[in-house]
Structure 1
Amino acid sequence: SRLTVGDPTVAVGLELDVIAAVVIGGGSLSGGEGSILGTLVGALIMTVIRSGCSQMGLPNWVQEIVTGGIIVAAVALDRWRHR
């Protein structure tokens, strides 16, 4: 605390990307399944998508909509798969 190297606000705003990475990687929002490798693959996919949106010059609010759409699609696919 004296060196001020720990900042509790470092990852504020990344919650949506983290949830998207886990869901894309095969984790279920109802719990009980998922893997570290799947989460890493999901994080890689989210990084590519976020980087592509930035390269295309899309504003942040559009990137958030894209991320939300990916989460909705991944959850719908997960629900359909577990029918």
Structure 2
Amino acid sequence: MPVNLLPVLVIPGENGDYSEAKIDSTPIIRFLEAEQPNRSVIPTDPVMAFIDYLIEDYADEWLTKGGCFTLGGRIREM
């Protein structure tokens, strides 16, 4: 059964209003890295950072394609 869970980061604007929301892990990570440079989740070693990027990109962009084909038939049946 699918889980209705999506990472969302809502960013308050200068007036205290919530004018921006990020709903993808990559922009959320990049935003948090810029805001909190002393608490990085990206490896400092360039080779490890590259491997981290490849794994994240694969999971973010390519694993979802398989899910579309797998869940596509189930969604049409609903």
Of the two, which has the highest radius of gyration?
2
TM-score w.r.t. the length of structure 2 is 0.38
Which has the larger share of helix?
A: 1
* Greater RCO (CA < 8 Å, at least 6 residues apart): 1
TM-score w.r.t. the length of structure 1 is 0.37
Which has the larger share of strand?
A: 2
